[in-house]
């Protein structure tokens, strides 16, 4: 029997499920804790996750989201808000057709839709880790989802070096050993220090 590549949408769904569980596990008194994205606290990070997954849905559904638009405060239960946008995103992808085809077939050299799936998996997986370490929750990234996210991160160079420190997915790569765990290599590739921990004057 020949091995098959994991379904990229299944990997995205796993990353979304884990992020949703971490948001649900975040206590109200952790809202102001710092995160590895140095200009963001936990509230900002959760707002970003809800906002960005909603924008991903807009894109897959054929709209052109304003990527510069700031995230709005989350109304109601953040975990429920995230699960709602995550379900919308998965529904959109399941209706998006062949992932090997680009969104715009007339655009010369446009990447296939699978490129966007990998990008979204990387975004969600990395920010889930950001939230986990900020709030003191365990994070055992799904191995296949982490591998897919690392494959994207290692092959993608963001414009102007990215800006993980102010909330973006990417920053200057952090060196990690070649034999480091897959999650550590993903974090390093996106500009995160796998050894990050909250400052001593904050408590998760």
Instruction: Report pLDDT digits (tens) over 1-39.
Output: 345 678 999 999 999 999 999 999 999 999 999 999 878
- The more confidently predicted of residues 100 and 203 is 100
pLDDT interval class at 166 (50, 70, 90): very low
Q: What is the pLDDT of residues 167-178, one digit of tens each?
A: 456 778 889 998
Four-point Cα dihedral 81, 86, 89, 93, nearest 10? -160
Q: What does the pLDDT read at residue 161?
A: 46
**pLDDT at residue 163, rounded to an integer:** 44
Phi, psi of 124, rounded to the nearest 5 degrees: -70, -45
| 68, pLDDT greater than 90 | no
Residues whose CB falls within 8 Å of the CB of residue 145, separated by 6 or more in sequence, listed in order = 11, 12, 14, 15, 18, 121, 125
Whole-number pLDDT of residue 50: 97
pLDDT tens string 93-151: 999 999 999 988 656 778 899 999 999 999 999 999 999 999 999 998 888 999 888 88
pTM (predicted TM-score): 0.88
Q: Yes or no: say if 163 and 157 are a contact pair by the CB < 8 Å rule.
A: no
What local confidence, expressed as pLDDT, does residue 167 receive? 47
């Amino acid at each position: 029997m020949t091995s098959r590549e994991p379904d990229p949408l299944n990997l995205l769904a796993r990353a979304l499920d884990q992020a949703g569980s971490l948001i649900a596990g975040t206590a109200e008194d952790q809202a102001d804790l710092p995160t590895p994205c140095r200009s963001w606290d936990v509230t900002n990070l959760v707002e970003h996750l809800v906002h960005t997954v909603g924008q991903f849905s807009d894109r897959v559904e054929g709209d052109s989201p304003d990527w510069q638009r700031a995230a709005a405060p989350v109304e109601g239960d953040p975990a429920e808000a995230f699960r709602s946008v995550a379900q919308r995103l998965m529904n959109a992808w399941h209706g998006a057709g062949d992932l090997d085809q680009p969104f715009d077939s007339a655009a010369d050299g446009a990447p296939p839709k699978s490129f966007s799936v990998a990008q979204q998996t990387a975004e969600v997986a990395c920010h889930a880790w950001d939230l986990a370490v900020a709030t003191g929750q365990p994070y055992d990234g799904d191995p296949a989802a982490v591998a897919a996210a690392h494959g994207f991160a290692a092959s993608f160079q963001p414009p102007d070096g990215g800006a993980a420190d102010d909330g973006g997915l990417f920053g200057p790569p952090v060196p990690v050993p070649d034999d480091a765990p897959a999650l550590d290599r993903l974090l390093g590739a996106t500009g995160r220090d796998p050894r990050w921990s909250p400052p001593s004057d904050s408590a998760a």
